[in-house]
Structure 1
Amino acid sequence: MTMATESIGIGEIEDMPTGLKSGSVLLKPVEMVSSIILVVIIGLLLMGVTSRYILSLPIIWVDEAAAFCFLWLAMLGAVIAIDRNEHLRLTLFLHMFPERLRGFFSALGPLLVAVFLFGMLWPAIEYVIEESYITSAALNIPMSWRVAALPVGIGLMALLALRETVRAAKASEIAAAAAVIAVAGALLWLVSPSLPPLGHINILIFLVGFVAFFLAIGVPIAFCFGLGALTFLTVTSSVPTMVMIGRIDEGMSSLILLSVPIFVLLGCILDATGMGKAIVDFLASLLGHVRAGMSYVLLGSLFLVSGISGSKVSDMATVAPALFPEMKRRGHKPREMIALLATGAAMADTVPPSIVLIVLGSVAGVSIAGLFTSGFVIAMVLLLVLAILARWKARSEVMDGIRRAPLRLVGKALAVAAPALVLPFLIRSAVGGGVATATEVSTIAVLYALIIGMVLYGGIRPSKIYDMLVETAALSGAILIILGTASAMAWALTQTGFAFKMAAMVTDLPGGWITYMLVTIAVFMVLGCVLEGLPAIVLMAPIMFPIAKTLGINDIHYSMVVVTAMNVGLMAPPIGIGFYIACKIGNVSPDEAMGAIWPYIGALFVGLLVIAMIPALSTAYL
């Protein structure tokens, strides 16, 4: 299993486990450079951690050097993701169109991406020129060396988008799509003088209407945001496009986000070495003999494995193949198993090291240590409500021939799983206790998992390591480019003053903070269905979090509500993308599983309301 993307008829998800994908031969040098950069980043961070905590000699230039490499990794990874068609996009509505229109949109989508990227290329070059006058504090070199990654990545992606256009459509469809774009551009230029007086109506037109249209025709989410923001700024304001490049740079360059690719790599190592399966086998030997035992094992495995991988899809792909055969033998229906798998993955997304929590901390300025500590407790609340429902559902489970595992077998399974079991608690305690940052812990965890995996779990082939590095670069690029363009769109939205008006409107609602919590739950459940977690957070956090603060809501408490609501939406059919991933992993028809998941969604929603109404659940252990 690797973390890649694949069209599944409903959407494309950034970490769908589909087996290693191969990019085009022309991109092999980019893949090689990206993998080298990732190794350099990990080496730099390990050197910094070792020097700081063992030798007590902090190296001041390590973070700066890592930041230089990080932007290059993000942009080259985004290039690889385009080459492999691994950018997150929604295809639900695209498949509803007649075949003739689908052919037209298959040309229009990548051509719009190419137009956006070529439109950003010169501003990116200007940005590099501007940054050349600034010298870095520690390395004392021009900052243009870092931001040169932007035009290089944008240029390569633009060429690949054009190649995809030619590959995906007929010449007549490409010509029609180009004509539509040209006519639309001309019309926007003609009406642009009359648009600024429309005020906030422009938000509905460009940042809602245009983006929704781009989503519906299958444009990758990152470029939906970019196209919406670029069009909005170009035709309704006099803001230079280079400012947008600056916002993209800022959105994807936070040092906190350095832990994202490293935790992605950790998930790959977890799968390749079989550490996750060892945890599943131990829990099965411990709980497999009780009624609903395998459901408990599935939920417990998702809870513990998520504390290593940081990816809900990686969690599902590790747990399902190990447990589903035995669950079927005991009479569990496949649709019920899928429902439990999907909602269990949603529950586990607050268990550190959740990538969603890391991104949220970066975007909203919330303590990562606080999020990790609270997330562990909140996941326990959701685990409890799902376990209660699973027990009730298992009242007719077939237990014939099921015996308690011998103590010797349990001990053997524990001995095998112990090195893997240590890892999630090491990560949580180190970050939550303030011993080390999430980035530092992630590098230590990768080194630990690599050594333990090689010594105790059979090791990893060198060719497999290279493949994992490339997959990590591609997935990280796909994630980070979303963060960059969503940050640009969020900035464009806040510059209109819309956030202040929304704050005034919400604070005047009756019910105070409770009403605002209910509004938040509704907003993020809907966004979770359509956008998945990361883009929804980047887009809405700058607007929603300041309002919550004015209403006296604790940042950590609010974060837990936001993430949980988003995950409920992510797993809710008929649009929730995570639900379809679970169906694909479990090889069950979505139509069959759709009816079974609603009781589990209801249980999660009950847990969400409890979390929202009882702040102490999120804050008592901080």
Structure 2
Amino acid sequence: MWVVICFLVMIAIGVPVGYSMILTAFIFVKITGAVTMSFVPTAMISGVSSYTMLAIPFFMLVGELMNNSGITKRIFSFADASVGHITGGLGHVNVLSSMIFSGMSGAAVADVAGLGAIEIKAMKDQGFDAEFAVGITAASSIIGPIIPPSSPMVLFGIAAGISIGGLFMGGITVGVIMGLLMMLTVFLIARKRNYPKHERYPLNTRFRSFIVALPALLAPVILIGGIFSGYFTPTEAASVAAFYSLLIGIFVYKDFKIKNLPKVLLASIENLGMVMLLMASGKLFAWVLGMEKIAELAASGIFTLTNNPYVILLLMNLILLFMGTFMETNASIFILTPILLPIANSIGIHPIQFGVIFIFSLMIGLLTPPMAICLFLTSKIGGISFNSAFKAVKPYYIGLLIVLALINIFPEITLFVPKLLLGSSF
């Protein structure tokens, strides 16, 4: 247990999470002598030397390519033509755009970076309050890691040793329910505040926007269809997505110039560096937790309190929600998975269901202070204070917590699609 205290002390004094895990492992090895010091770099290298790991840099590259190749603009225009006439107008466009965008990038921050500026500017120009625009943009961005593909699900699959394809499929229904409840919230707020909407576009205008956006809309179909049909693995899907984004950016929309490729690659590499450090240190820290039997201690502590599986699941939800508010998502995955997954298995929770619950809970943390990275970014884009942004996003917590409760209580919400497409193989 002392290793956990050592780790938390380092976090408390401001040491970055990745370095805190490495230093804690060094101290553990030095004090216990369980292995030689050469084991530390070896374990870290093994944490990132995985074929499945290749999906992460490619999905990061996809987000950068989409943001620099005109794909996001076409997605937004198509969503506007489709649902912009409903009460709430661009609020619904915001949600639908994020749902489509998530079918390519799978990252909340990429959604904010790519669509956020477009959405918030458009909403402000049409007379929406800046606070409302920021609130729905932040809330809808967390759909990205739930609807496949999803970078956090790839990391959870690696950490837990379970089917990444199964996790992807488990997120589909959840992502759709999230989107619908957000749109319901937008409708109720918009009707109360009398927000603007435009007239329904003529059929030929809507068809034209569909044709223009079709290359971008086909990307999720190709990726998800390819994974579900077995034509390629989630890792291969990430490389296909990157190559496809590059092709349509250069040859279809012609907004992307080859001379910009080095800049895009550099931006992806800079973002990847921290993720790789977290994965390497996470592998090492998971070994330390295993040596100290932290998972067993946590399980015995929880089972001392209660044997009710629903109460235990509630406690794990609270832990995940709390950790998501102040710790980076990838770090939380590698720290908490080896501790909580065995407990979930012991009370009969399917790993796919628990994986979706795990990621969903951490995503709510992206909207919740003190960390709230998505809320922070959108408040900067919208030019409002962080406190105002937090007030604006509060109505969406109701729908998010309803979804969280549903996926805890009804396993079939997350397991129906994997069972339908994979049978008993997941």
On whether the aligned pair clears a TM of 0.5, the verdict is yes
Which residue of structure 1 lines up, in the alignment, with residue 26 of structure 2? 230
Structure 2: distance between partners of 1:400 and 1:571: 26
Deviations 1:224-260 (A, max 9, x none): 2212222233234443222221221121222111011
User: Is 2:149 the counterpart of 1:353?
Assistant: yes
What amino acid is the match of 1:369?
Answer: G
1:405 paired with 2:205, answer: no
1:438 is the counterpart of 2:238: no
**3-state SS of paired residue (1:351):** coil
- 1:499 offset after TM fit, Å? 1.5
Question: Does 359-368 or 497-506 show the bigger shift?
Answer: 497-506
1:478 aligns with one of 268, 274, 293 = 274
2:377 is aligned with 1:581: yes
d(CA) in 2 for partners of 1:439, 1:204: 33
Shift of 1:400: 6.4
For 1:595 and 1:452, locate their aligned partners in 2 and report how far apart those are by CA, in whole Å. 39
The secondary structure found in structure 2 opposite 1:552 is coil
Q: How does 1:363-402 map to 2 (within 5 A)?
A: 363-398=159-194, 402=198
Structure 2 match to 1:206: 6
Do structure 1's residue 496 and structure 2's residue 296 form an aligned pair?
no
Checking the alignment, whether the CA contact within 8 Å between 2:223 and 2:240 is kept in structure 1 is no
1:508 positional shift? 4.6
Q: In structure 2, do the counterparts of structure 1 residues 509 and 318 end up closer, same or farther at CA, with 3 Å as the change threshold?
A: same
Instruction: Note if contact 2:295-2:342 (Cα within 8 Å) is conserved in structure 1.
Output: no
Deviations 1:124-164 (A, max 9, x none): xxxxxxxxxxxxxxxxxxxxxxxxxxxxxxxxxxxxxxxxx
Q: Secondary structure at the match of 1:292?
A: coil
1:613 alignment partner in structure 2: 409
List per-residue Cα deviations over 1:6-60 (Å, max 9, x = no partner).
xxxxxxxxxxxxxxxxxxxxxxxxxxxxxxxxxxxxxxxxxxxxxxxxxxxxxxx
Q: Secondary structure at the match of 1:572?
A: coil
Per the TM alignment, residue 459 of structure 1 is displaced from its structure 2 partner at its CA by 4.5
* 233-242 or 264-273, which deviates more: 233-242
Tell me, in whole angstroms, the C-alpha distance in 1 between the residues paired with 2:307 and 2:225: 37
Question: Is the 2:95–2:183 Cα contact (8 Å) retained in structure 1?
Answer: yes
Any conservation in 1 of the 2:367–2:374 contact (CA below 8 Å)?
yes
Q: 2:389 aligns with which of 577, 588, 593?
A: 593
Q: Would you say 1:296 and 2:92 are equivalent positions?
A: yes
In 2: Cα distance, 1:243 partner to 1:212 partner? 27
Asked whether 1:314 is paired with 2:110, we answer yes
Contact 1:298/1:323 (<8 A) preserved? yes
Deviation at 1:521, TM superposition (A): 1.1
Native 8 Å contact 2:135 2:393 kept in 1: yes
Q: How much does 1:558 deviate?
A: 0.4
Larger radius of gyration: 1
CA distance in 1, matches of 2:90, 2:27: 52
CA distance in 1, matches of 2:75, 2:197: 24
Alignment-mate amino acid for residue 101 of structure 2? V
Partner of 1:280: 76
Are the counterparts in 2 of residues 266 and 309 from structure 1 also a CA contact under 8 Å? Answer: yes
Query: Residues of 2 paired with 1:507 and 1:591: CA distance?
Result: 39
Q: Which amino acid aligns with 1:261?
A: P
SS of the equivalent of 2:143 reads: helix
**Per the alignment, in what secondary structure is the counterpart of residue 348 of structure 1?**
coil
Letter of the structure 2 residue corresponding to residue 449 of structure 1:
S
Q: Distance in 1 between matches of 2:60 and 2:240?
A: 14
Per-residue deviation at 1:474? 2.0
In 2: Cα distance, 1:400 partner to 1:342 partner: 20
**Which consecutive unaligned segments of at least 5 residues does structure 1 have?**
1-199
Instruction: Provide the rounded CA distance (Å) in 2 between the counterparts of 1:480 and 1:203.
Output: 22
CA–CA distance in 1 between the matches of 2:40 and 2:312? 31
Aligned CA distance change for structure 1 residues 335 and 482 (closer, same or farther; 3 Å): same
- Partners of 1:205 and 1:555 lie apart in 2 by 28
Match of residue 524 from structure 1: 320
* 8 A contact 2:89–2:196 mirrored in 1: no
RMSD over aligned Cα atoms: 1.9
- Give the alignment of 1:36-435 within 5 angstroms: 200=1, 202-213=2-13, 216=14, 219-398=15-194, 402-435=198-231
1:553 is matched with: 349
* SS in structure 1 of the partner of residue 103 of structure 2: helix
Cα 1:400–1:620, aligned 2, differ >3 Å: closer, same or farther? closer
Structure 1 residue aligned with 2:265? 469
Structure 2, unpaired ranges of 5+: 419-426
User: Is the alpha carbon distance of 1:402 and 1:499 closer, same or farther for their aligned partners in structure 2, counting shifts above 3 Å?
Assistant: closer
Cα displacement (A) at 1:538: 0.7
**How much does 1:529 deviate?**
1.4
Q: How does 1:14-29 map to 2 (within 5 A)?
A: none
* Deviation at residue 265 of structure 1 after TM alignment: 1.2
Shift of 1:374: 1.1
Give the counterpart letter for 1:540 in structure 2. Answer: L
Greater RCO (CA < 8 Å, at least 6 residues apart): 2
Query: Are 2:366 and 2:373, in contact at CA under 8 Å, matched by a contact in 1?
Result: yes
Q: Distance in 1 between matches of 2:5 and 2:91?
A: 47
Q: CA deviation at 1:398?
A: 4.3
TM-score by length of 2: 0.93
Structure 1 residue identity aligned to 2:108: K
Give the % identical residues: 26
Deviation of residue 615 (structure 1)? 0.7
State whether residues 330 and 397 of structure 1, in contact with CA within 8 Å, keep that contact through their aligned partners in structure 2.
no
Query: Residue 579 of structure 1: CA displacement?
Result: 1.8
List structure 1 segments (4+ residues) > 6 angstroms apart after TM superposition. Answer: none
Letter in structure 2 aligned against 1:495 = M
What do residues 459-489 of structure 1 show as CA deviations (whole Å, max 9, x unaligned)?
Answer: 5222211111222222222211111112211
